[in-house]
Amino acid sequence: MNVTEQSHNIVRIGDITINSIVSSAPLAGITDFVLRQLIRQYSPTCLLTTEMISSEALVQKPEANITYTNDKEAPVAFQIEGHKPELMAKSAKLVENKATIIDINMGCPINKIVKGQDGCSLMKNPELARDIVIAVKDSVKIPVTCKFRLGWSQDTKNFVEFAQLMQSAGVSAVTVHGRTRSQLYGGTADWNEISKLKGEIDIPFFANGDIISPETAKKCLETSKADGIAIGRAAMGDLSLIHRIEEYVINDILLPEPTLEEKINMVKKHLDFEIAFRGELNGIKFFRKFYPCYIKNIRGGGELRHRLVTEINYNNIVSILNQIIEEL
């Protein structure tokens, strides 16, 4: 599929048509089935992505919770992570019947991952990255994509050649986070740099990094000249964000941000769904990381967040949340 055939409101990835140009970026420990399901309630069309799934772990435990999905979730990309072509091929096969797309992690910067040649270290070893793509492509019938950064460091930005190599190995789309590995999450994502891909590959590309609102999404699309955009951290504190971004970049409709009361209702629903998925205590503890994302910029927020992240009793948590609404 040539990029010139892309329209402004769909992206074709191999033989799949995504009726949106917005995807949820993978976030380990965050974009679990629960969060994806809730994003889907707002956006029927965006491309969802799982958290990265370790190929080593997957072959040991193919039915682990991390691979859970249902028939309402599609389109969903299952992201696998690892560096052994055979194992990556095997893992892709194991989740193929649950996934719309297999995405390969080539951008994770954390030490634990890159020291084993996984994640972004594959950008330093393009031949291995290519072999992984070929092996995964050979093992599944669904489209394969990959996600990477601008390069390992400022001096070794190889994302254009890397994208070309991945395309020749068989990927049907790429997502580029506009930072290098050396930057980790510091500085700002360079959307202009991503635009260098335009005309250099014939498959669609998604721009990623620092999109936090409908307005920044539009700016990113214009600057990066990308076919689509991927939204990561900002989706953590607002279940409606991806839908609002779609409405703005596709239909030019700027929907209002959720009010604090609406956000508190999102918290309650998200927490309830996590409890249903993980059990009460595990769900309550797992959810703690989300409070600071939903509840910010309010008077006394620090103290309220402290009470929420230290509370293990469900009814007390709901009382604190109700108190926030009552004090508005």
Q: Which of 130, 177, 181, 244 binds ligand FMN (CB under 6 A)?
A: 177
Q: Identify which of 95, 94, 103 has the alpha carbon closest to the alpha carbon of residue 49.
A: 103
C-alpha–C-alpha distance, residues 295 and 289, integer Å: 11
With binding defined as CB under 6 A, does residue 210 bind ligand FMN?
A: yes
Is 231 one of the binding residues for ligand FMN (CB under 6 A)?
yes
The C-alpha atoms of residue 86 and residue 55 are separated, in whole angstroms, by 10
Q: Is 224 in the site for ligand FMN (CB under 6 A)?
A: no
Q: Which is nearer to ligand FMN, 130 or 177 (CB)?
A: 177
For ligand FMN, the binding residues in 93-112 under the rule CB under 6 A are 105, 107-108
The residue with its CB nearest to ligand FMN is 232
Distance (Å, rounded) from C-alpha 21 to C-alpha 277?
A: 29
Number of other residues whose CB lies within 10 A of the CB of residue 22:
29
* Options 46, 108, 120, 146, the catalytic residue: 108
CB of 47 to ligand FMN, least distance (A): 13
Q: How many CB atoms lie within 10 A of CB 262?
A: 14
Q: Which is nearer to ligand FMN, 119 or 324 (CB)?
A: 119
Burial status of residue 233 (CB atoms within 10 A of its CB: 0-12, 13-18, 19 or more): middle
List 3, 13, 46, 52, residue binding ligand FMN (CB under 6 A): 52
The torsion angles phi and psi of 54, rounded to 5 degrees, stand at -65, 130
CA 156 to chain centre: 25
Taking CB under 6 A as the criterion, the residue among 26, 75, 85, 151 binding ligand FMN is: 26
Residue 68, both tokens: 């859970």
Question: How many Å apart are CA 282 and CA 287, to the nearest integer?
Answer: 8
Q: Crossing angle for the helix pair 301-310 and 314-326, nearest 10 degrees?
A: 170
How far apart are the C-alpha atoms of 67 and 46, rounded to whole Å? 19
CB of 319 to ligand FMN, least distance (A): 29
Map the footprint of ligand FMN across residues 114-173, applying CB under 6 A. Answer: 147
Give the phi and the psi of residue 12 in degrees, each rounded to 5. Answer: -100, 125
Beta strands 16-18; 11-13: pairing state: antiparallel
Q: Taking CB under 6 A as the rule, which mask of x and - marks residues 243-282 in contact with ligand FMN?
A: ----------------------------------------
Q: Which of 3, 18, 25, 201 binds ligand FMN (CB under 6 A)?
A: 25
- Angular region, 297: left φ>0, alpha ψ -120 to 50, beta rest: left
Closer residue to ligand FMN, CB minimum distance, 122 or 324: 122
Task: Report how many helices (DSSP H) and strands (DSSP E) the chain contains, helices first.
Answer: 14, 10
Q: Which is nearer to ligand FMN, 73 or 81 (CB)?
A: 81
Considering only 21, 27, 34, 88, the residue that binds ligand FMN (CB under 6 A) is 27
CB of 35 to ligand FMN, least distance (A): 12
Quick one: which of 51, 118, 193, 246 contacts ligand FMN (CB under 6 A)? 51
Is 108 a known active-site residue? yes
Task: For residue 113, state whether it binds ligand FMN (rule: CB under 6 A).
Answer: no
Strand partners of residue 147: 105, 175
Count, residues near ligand FMN per rule CB under 6 A: 21
Catalytic residues: 108
- Which residues would be at the binding site for ligand FMN (CB under 6 A)? 25-28, 30, 51-52, 79, 105, 107-108, 147, 177, 208-211, 231-234
